[in-house]
Amino acid sequence: MRHKTGTPPAERPPRLPPETDGAAPWLFLLPSLTAVSVLVLLPFLDAVRRSFLSAAGGRFVGLDNYRAVLENQAFRLAAWNTLRFTAVCIPLLLAFSLLLALLVGAVRERRGIFKTSFLLPMAIPVASIVLLWKAVFHENGLFNSLLRLIGLPEQNWLDSGWTFGVLVFTYLWKNAGYDMVLWLSGLSGIPPALYESAALDGAGAAQRFFRITLPGLRPTLFTAAVLSLLNSFKVFREAYLIAGGYPHRSIYMLQHLFNNWFLQLDTDKLCAGAVLLALAAAGAAALLQGLLGRGDRP
């Protein structure tokens, strides 16, 4: 019997399943879409409907609820404080977290320890943070004790003009690690060959940062800015637990106002204010998309 010689024929590649009509991704997304629709979209649409009705009797009142909200002094104060808090915190957070990412990225040994250390504040429960802050910033707390030691006047950190600074510090301390991870992800996507070529051409550290690093981080900047904007609305928990529903006027946010309207059953003004806030947040996201989102395009 004659045997064939030579290399065995290559194995045939496995047959791929036939292409679907595009329904498979939607089947995977269906549970999430259902939950978002039931828990978020439908309640928001009901809030939009209620914003045109009176709280007592459900009578159609047109834009009267929106007019009452815009003329409300408490709403103006809360809106201004929320806008000021967002305008101050987001640039500080983006700059500080980028600085942390650059420092951590330059450390090759034990980099994971630094990442974990900066992410720990996000894992600490809000109630624990409030207890820590009260121990530090109370009238008889650690900060005032240090001021007494060095001969400086004590401050009422939680019920004075300094309260806004305490809230800003809380936001930066808790969210800097999260944004740092986003920046590190963006830095890892920049090819090292660009830095090597720039160094060979004689570019300094500042030139490499402004000509290579910042343009390469533009898509990450948009993501970090939007997430920081959303996280800025979550600082209400800390402010509420520290000072209650009526804190110092410098940190009286829209969340405080909405919470108080909810307790007073002012659902007409509450729904109108929520719609205005949603429109403002969508407008801010669209503005960021227009300013920063172009970095996603080649």
The residue among 246 and 164 whose pLDDT is bigger is 164
Mean pLDDT of 233-262: 84
The residue among 83 and 14 whose pLDDT is bigger is 83
Any idea what the CATH number is for the domain that residue 239 is in?
A: 1.10.3720.10
CA distance 66 to 264: 18
Q: Is residue 123 part of a domain?
A: yes
Q: Is residue 19 part of a domain?
A: no
Residue 242 pLDDT level (bands cut at 50, 70, 90):
confident
Number of independent structural domains in the chain: 1
Domain of 112? 56-296
Mean pLDDT of 169-196: 88
> In sequence order, what are the residues at sequence separation of 6 or more whose Cβ sits closer than 8 angstroms to the Cβ of residue 174?
121, 122, 129
Helix (H) or strand (E) run with residue 87 in it:
helix 73-106
pLDDT value at position 166?
A: 87
> In sequence order, what are the residues at sequence separation of 6 or more whose Cβ sits closer than 8 angstroms to the Cβ of residue 173?
121
Question: What proportion of the chain, given as a percentage, has pLDDT over 90?
Answer: 17
Q: Is residue 284 part of a domain?
A: yes
Q: Is residue 20 part of a domain?
A: no
Residue 295 pLDDT level (bands cut at 50, 70, 90):
very low
Lowest-pLDDT choice from 114-128, 137-151, 282-296: 282-296
